Structure 1
Amino acid sequence: MTKNIKENLLILLISNIITIILFVTTPYIIRVVTSTKATENNNLMLSPLPILLYLILLSLLVCIITVLYRLHTEKRIIINNSITSLQPATSEKNKAEIMREIYKNKQDHLEVNRYEAIKEYTYTVFSPYMTDDCLETLCQNIKLYEIPESCINSVLTNGQLNTLDIRHYAWNIGERLGWSGQTRATFIKLCFPKELNDVEIESIRRTLRQKGKCKIEIDIPDKDSYEFHY
């Protein structure tokens, strides 16, 4: 039921009540008017009016006040609702910002954990064949490699690893980092210039998973995982 229909029904109800009251009380009013006499001070006396008339008038007054109060309350509710209806846009915007922040934090946390896993793997497989300084440099190279114009420093092994070991290492970490074959080949070419001096980047790319005698095996990650199986 709309607001206009409600107001019309209330007005109709009040009109009917007033009509009934006038119809019922008119004989009493005429009788009182004809029988009322002036007092010594020429004041009119209300006492002859019947008690029923007072009650009816009081009921009418209460009814009118109630109706007016309800109409005023409905208007306030409508105004408040119209003001509140403007809030969801701001709330949704704040919610979207919070969700973006949560997503960013998750991604940052994932990147940190991924890098720590690769760093631990690097130290594990290369520590028998490289110095501590070279190990740290290699880990820094991984972190800096995708940053434009970053400086990649070369490292050196003790000669006990062959090129297949280095290619397997590049494939393993690249698989966790989402690197393409070209990116993996270029990375180890820059990091191990001495060991891969005689091998072209294209040849490295084609033979990253080549089988053969090696110390560093191919490590295929589980689905949606960056962990190693060493």
Structure 2
Amino acid sequence: MDKFIQGSTVWPEGITKMHLYLVPDLEVNKELASLVRDCRAVIDRYPGIQIVPDPWLKATLQLITGVTGAQVNASTREALSDALAAALAELEPFTLSVGPALAGATGVALDLDQDLPGQRLYECYERVRAAIVSVLGDGAVEYSALPPHLTLGYGLESFDSGVVQEALRRQVRPGRAAWLLDEIWLVEVTQDVVHNQYRWLAPAHRIRLGGR
């Protein structure tokens, strides 16, 4: 595993970006909360990984490219929110399967399913991208966040991630959980290079699936 935020992944100072996130409600999704807690108990033993705390736990659905957060003014954000709401109005909430935990090249994440064509998360992804294009154009969706994952921790230094993966596989049982997905968050994101974290600014635009 290597440090996640370094080199080309470091944003210019003061820059923010607009992202679309899936943000779990751990009070509602008890199974998922338990899985996250069990994974953190393992990850916490490895100082080379920075754990993502509850307030910033998320899965990235789409990054908005070609513009910074400052370039997306209030009226454009409202137009984006409205377009997203219209796109997701006919897509009812659905349940994802989360897990297992994967220790990869730059961090630890929980795998998410339903990201193949014809499946629910993929449909959500396509609807979100179309809504963004309708407001900001094709240049705003040049990045693909698939396959999806819920990030649990970011690498702080170089070390063998295999030992982490083996510990997660053996000690986190069961290694999967359900996640009821019922909303998408449109947020302005900041990058904290010192603490190796991403955070977002208030207010978030929270778009409900199914128009509710």
TM-score range, shorter chain: under 0.3
User: TM-score, normalised to structure 1's length?
Assistant: 0.22
More strand by share: 2
Larger Rg: 1
Which structure shows the higher helix fraction? 1
Whose RCO is larger (CA < 8 A, sep 6+)?
A: 2
